[in-house]
Amino acid sequence: MKENSVAEKQSAYQDIMAKQNAYLWQSHLHYYNEPLPLDRGKGSYVWDVADEKYLDYFGGILTTSVGHGHPRIVEKVAEQTAKLIHTSTLYPHANHVSLAEKIAAITPGRLQKSYFTNSGTEADELALMAARGYTGNYDILALRHGYSGNSATGKTLTAQSAWRLAGNIVPGIKHAINPYCYRCPYKMSYPGCDIACAQDVEDVIKTTTCGKVAGILIEPIQGVGGFITPPVEYFGIVSEIIRDHGGVVISDEVQTGFGRTGEHWFGIEHWGVEPEIMTMAKGIANGFPMGNTITVPEVADAMIDGGNFICTFGGNPVSTIASLTTIEIMEQEAPPQQVAQKGRRLRQGLNAIAENSPFVGEVRGMGLMQGIEVVKDKKSKEPAPELVLQIFEETKRRKLLIGKGGMYNNVVRITPPLNTTDEELETALGVLSEVFNDLAGQ
């Protein structure tokens, strides 16, 4: 590709975009004024079809946990592909059971029995079925600003209008206020608020359900919601309320799982709560499609009477070896303690940017999952999504890829590969600092 002329590069770009527009739904969301067709990746970097190199600090939505094209994953996947690609869940396979054993070993509490599927959406769907099957109750609570996927149930659990498809709302899902301290719905401040938002869970149960619930699905840190990070007391209070009303706690770790938040393997561990069900996807297999719903034994066992279910691609030998290898690499190259340490440096750098910028309302998150809420000014806190678009174009121009999110589209999301180097971290911070300085100087 290096020798290709400018005309050839432009033609590759135009060809992809023409087919994208002709043959794919317009509802595919793309980042950037000019979308960025990618060609290849290595470690923390990706190259586009014009051979431009970018530092990838979003990882295909927190998915390439140990970087692109990790040689050990490539090798193991190639070996397995040559041997056996597909089994379906009708036949046991060594990779499938070994991965389940591994995940049971690193998840908290009594979580033990897995059901592998293909995506976070499916993992959440299955979690709801399991909660209902186990408790015999139907209503599920979720939190406002949450995101849970693309199916009708996923969209109903999701509580941001931009991500809900009209007409696809399923019954039995209610939303409580989320612990968004920066924009507290009660206009209170932590800790004086006495975590009033947690009590809304009880109010929702009492006013919109029969008083008995199947459970609550929460994200320890709301991902698409803009890395909203609840106070340390929050999930303890909420879990007690849910269990008092007959329900179980489902921790959606699709974004917070596998060491992303530092110190622990899973996000909910920071709050000291042991969920009965946990869902995971994205970073679980470094980009191979996979979802998983792990439960305490009694929840999984209650599903035996619920009828059979299969997942054609679930736990397939290639994705499972990719996942097992990804977890091994994390243990060796990016254990949670190391992620915490790199996260501290990232946070320190972002805090310094925040101090010098009139446009940073809040920096929040944990580990290598850090967000910057961008505002018009710190006093009014008015969301500034147009500034985020500018930040996007400017970081792209400087060859850094980042993500965005938030109910108001005004949160920059920074999620490097967990094994990113110190040098890459400093490069990213340098770019962000330059971009925020330029914005202030305009």
Residue 124 touching ligand PLP (CB under 6 A): yes
Residue 163 touching ligand PLP (CB under 6 A): no
Residue 115 touching ligand PLP (CB under 6 A): no
What are the distances in angstroms from CA 337 to CA 66, 330, 401? 15, 11, 25
Residue 292 touching ligand PLP (CB under 6 A): no
Residue 150 touching ligand PLP (CB under 6 A): yes
| Residue 318 structure tokens | 């290639």
Cβ(228)–Cβ(222) below 8 Å = yes
Instruction: Please say which residue, 17 or 61, places its beta carbon nearer to ligand PLP.
Output: 61
Q: Is 213 left (phi over 0), alpha (psi -120 to 50) or beta?
A: beta
Residue 281 touching ligand PLP (CB under 6 A): yes
Give the residues across from 250 on adjacent strands: 217, 277
Q: How far is the CB of 178 from ligand PLP (least distance, A)?
A: 13
**# chain residues binding ligand PLP, by CB under 6 A:** 16
Binding range to ligand PLP, per CB under 6 A, among 44-52, 120-128, 201-209, 226-234:
120-128
Q: How far is the CB of 324 from ligand PLP (least distance, A)?
A: 19
Residue 357 touching ligand PLP (CB under 6 A): no
Residue 285 touching ligand PLP (CB under 6 A): no
Strand order of the sheet with strand 400-401?
A: 38-42, 45-48, 53-56, 400-401
Q: How far is the CB of 282 from ligand PLP (least distance, A)?
A: 6
Instruction: Please say which residue, 145 or 245, places its beta carbon nearer to ligand PLP.
Output: 145
Contacts of ligand PLP in 254-273 (CB under 6 A): 254-255
Cβ(65)–Cβ(258) below 8 Å = yes
Residue 139 touching ligand PLP (CB under 6 A): no
Q: How far is the CB of 256 from ligand PLP (least distance, A)?
A: 8
Measured over the CA atoms of residue 397, residue 403, residue 408 and residue 410, the dihedral's sign is: negative
Residue 229 touching ligand PLP (CB under 6 A): no
Cα separation, 390 vs 42, in Å, equals 27
Cα separation, 430 vs 173, in Å, equals 44
Q: How far is the CB of 393 from ligand PLP (least distance, A)?
A: 23
Judged by CB under 6 A, the residue of 149, 262, 275, 406 near ligand PLP is 149
Cα separation, 132 vs 32, in Å, equals 41
Residue 230 sits at φ, ψ, to 5 deg, of -70, 155
DSSP per-residue string spanning 262-296? SSSSSGGGGGT---SEEEE-GGGGBTB--EEEEE-
Instruction: Please say which residue, 159 or 281, places its beta carbon nearer to ligand PLP.
Output: 281
Residue 361 sits at φ, ψ, to 5 deg, of -80, -45
Give the interface with ligand PLP as residue ranges (CB under 6 A).
61, 119-121, 124, 147-150, 219, 223-224, 252, 254-255, 281
